[in-house]
Chains A and B, each alone.
Chain A
Amino acid sequence: MSSESHVAGHGAEPSFRQHHFINAEQQFDTSKLGMWLFLATEILMFGGLFVGYGLMQSVYPEAWVAGHHHLDRIMGAVNTVFLLCSSFTMVMAVHAASQSEKAKTVRYLLGTLVFAAGFLVIKYFEYSHKFHDGLLPGTHFSYHGGGPPQQAMFFGFYFAMTGLHGFHVVVGMALITWIMLRAMRGEFSSAYYTPVDLVGLYWHLVDLIWIYLFPLLYLVS
């Protein structure tokens, strides 16, 4: 073990390096690899919903067109802008952390949280509007404005997809808060900012999924 440390040749051993890694860089790359494997499982989990959406859209295109007219494009577009901006502030936070700029890191993370909260506020207004109109999944569908009955299925996909995505937004906000508190305590520097980077990757995936959800749900025709 000690001979391996000598091979690595890094004068002072950083305190965060775990003994089973050759050096800090290998530890960083390994953590990232693990995160990417997790993101792959996330893609496959959402994948089931995307495949279901694709199949049912191909069978009932008219129900999809009718269903999506109940969604507010402006609200969807504003939420897209919110998430894109939050992804930008997140990557700037990672960048600031890698430069040991503590104040900037905290500020960008706070900005990310504000955009994420804005996203959830708009989602709340959209959901409450649909609850009010009875535009609910499956047997709970009680909208009396007409249209193909398979709209109930469109709203099944709408709530399952945006619901799972919204849950990821909430989890992401909790993680960003945790990272922000650690950044305020000065735990990150150019030598070690792995948690900021990994939470960043998670947050970008949340953005990535919304990039697909927005056109699939709001812009059917």
Chain B
Amino acid sequence: MSEHVHSSSARIYVVVLLALLFLTIVTVGAAYVNFGSSSINLIIAVLIATVKATLVALFFMHLRHDPPVNAIIFVTSLIFLGLFLLFPLIDIGSRDKVVPYGLRMQAQPAAAKAAPAAAPAPSH
């Protein structure tokens, strides 16, 4: 029985690899299409990446056949990563433009116009 399961799983790996390569072509192709703004393009690219990551996790990392506890650990880490991303994004979206300390000099309009001249500024 296990013999049969394993020989068919080798064929599934080939199909998954072909799907991953196909999605790579799709995501490169999508990068040449303007969907409105660079942020929307990024979101589309991340969605395609998520489909690819799901394929890798389910088939190559065997989560489909593993005890569910492994998938629970994996998904939990992703949920916390989502929280980690969400709250700073809410924070930064709800205030005026934040300029990191190292770029304060360069961010002034006069300095920003002449980028080469501004280059030595950070050395202070």
- With contacts A36-B70, A212-B46, A215-B48 taken as known, whether A149 is within 8 angstroms of B38 at the C-beta atoms is no
CA distance A218 to B30 in the complex (A): 12
CA distance A139 to B102 in the complex (A): 8
* Chain B minimum-CB-distance residue to A134: B119
Chain B 86-124, CB-CB to A under 8 Å as 1, else 0, gives 001100110001101011001100011001101100110
Chain B at the A interface: SS class: helix
Number of chain B residues close to chain A: CB under 8 A: 63
Tell me if A44 and B80 are in contact (CB < 8 A): yes
Residue A11 CB within 8 A of the other chain: no
Tell me if A215 and B56 are in contact (CB < 8 A): no
Tell me if A219 and B28 are in contact (CB < 8 A): yes
Residue A23 CB within 8 A of the other chain: no
Tell me if B49 and A211 are in contact (CB < 8 A): yes
Tell me if B39 and A58 are in contact (CB < 8 A): yes
Tell me if A84 and B21 are in contact (CB < 8 A): yes
Tell me if A59 and B98 are in contact (CB < 8 A): yes
Tell me if B13 and A91 are in contact (CB < 8 A): yes
Per the 8 Å Cβ criterion, residues 99-152 of A in contact with B are 99, 138-139, 141-142, 144, 146-150, 152
- With contacts A36-B73, A64-B38, A84-B21 taken as known, whether A221 is within 8 angstroms of B31 at the C-beta atoms is yes
CA distance A147 to B73 in the complex (A): 43
Tell me if A61 and B24 are in contact (CB < 8 A): no
The listed residue (B28, B42, B60) touching A57 by CB distance below 8 A is B42
Residue A194 CB within 8 A of the other chain: no
- With contacts A36-B74, A87-B56, A148-B112 taken as known, whether A221 is within 8 angstroms of B28 at the C-beta atoms is no
Tell me if A208 and B112 are in contact (CB < 8 A): no
* Chain B minimum-CB-distance residue to A40: B77
* Chain B minimum-CB-distance residue to A152: B103
CA distance A142 to B119 in the complex (A): 7
* Chain A minimum-CB-distance residue to B45: A215
CB contacts (< 8 Å) of B115 on chain A: these are: 146-149
Contacts A61-B39, A221-B34 aside, 16 further interface pairs with beta carbons under 8 A come to: A32-B66, A37-B73, A51-B84, A55-B92, A58-B92, A59-B97, A77-B28, A80-B24, A84-B20, A88-B16, A98-B6, A148-B115, A149-B106, A212-B53, A215-B45, A219-B42
Q: What are 22 A-B residue pairs whose CB atoms fall within 8 Å in the complex?
A: A36-B70, A40-B77, A43-B81, A50-B81, A51-B88, A54-B89, A57-B42, A81-B21, A84-B17, A85-B17, A87-B17, A88-B17, A138-B102, A139-B102, A152-B103, A204-B56, A204-B60, A211-B49, A211-B56, A214-B24, A214-B27, A215-B31
B interface list, Cβ under 8 A from A = 6, 9-10, 13-14, 16-17, 20-21, 24, 27-28, 30-31, 34, 37-39, 41-42, 45-46, 48-49, 52-53, 56-57, 59-61, 66-67, 69-70, 73-74, 76-78, 80-81, 84-85, 88-89, 92-93, 97-98, 100, 102-103, 106-107, 111-112, 115-116, 118-119, 122-123
